[in-house]
Amino acid sequence: MKNKNEKGFALILAIVLLLAMSLMGGSLIVISAGDHRNNNSSDQYQQAFYVAETALLEGEKNLKNAMMGHWKISGSDLVRDIGNAKLPENDIEVGATDSNNLVANHNTACVKSFRNVTRQNFKVAQHVTDQSFYKLIAPIIVPDEVIDGLETDVTGKKFESEENYIKRFYYEYFSVFLGSMEYKGTGSSIAKTSTTKQLSGVAYKVYGCGIMRASDALNSKIQILIPLESVVIFN
């Protein structure tokens, strides 16, 4: 004989189990979505970091070209413009005003991101802003190597989407002349056990920023800014 109190128990149990499973499924969806957002954010920060490293390399290359002479076309040859080669000095005043009392475009978000930079009468040897990372790497982009499975992208939307993403990244760099500095270089010395010797050169501190914008427009909001700095010595 069945107890009357047990009537409907199976239905209630099924509803409770269904509710519990629904809550668990919803929680898993929320967690997965959060992980996906975090992964995307991590990838964006990593890309901005690589762009900041590119800024340092471009800053170092620009200094080297200024000291040795920038490349120019002479007839059918590519030669250095030795006549205009010079040692870059700190003659660009960041945040200075021009003859019309307008602030020059040197006091940028990148400059402001470095806490160790003196704000008053701050001068640099070079300052290059708003450089498109996409334009820098465009000559070496091969569509088939950029996106896996591009052969299935008949309309080209995948590659266009990747292009638009890369176009959101910009870089900026500026350098400060530090003066003469000694460094260790490979070579012989009096001590037979030593393989280095003290050399003297000119030193610069290069500051670089990797910037990700909300869109590929220069005036769009900066979403991510990664600042890096390094010291380079030229002999």
Structure confidence at residue 39 (pLDDT): 56
Q: Strand, coil or helix: what is 10? A: helix
Residue 191 lies in a domain: yes
Residue 162 lies in a domain: yes
Taking alpha carbons only, the member of 63, 88, 47, 71 closest to residue 173 is: 63
For residues 125 and 204, what is the distance between their CA atoms, to the nearest angstrom? 9
Task: Indicate the helix (H) or strand (E) that contains 159.
Answer: helix 157-166
Structure confidence at residue 131 (pLDDT): 94
H helices, E strands: number in the chain = 5, 8
Residue 165 lies in a domain: yes
Structure confidence at residue 190 (pLDDT): 46
What are the distances in angstroms from CA 32 to CA 25, 46, 96?
A: 11, 21, 50
Q: Indicate the DSSP class of residue 101.
A: S
Number of domains comprising the chain: 1
Residue 58 lies in a domain: yes
Residue 91 lies in a domain: yes
Structure confidence at residue 93 (pLDDT): 80
Residue 1 lies in a domain: no
Q: Low-confidence residues of the chain, pLDDT below 70?
A: 1-9, 32-40, 95-106, 119, 142-156, 158, 183-198
Range of the domain at 38: 8-234
Residue 2 lies in a domain: no
Residue 3 lies in a domain: no
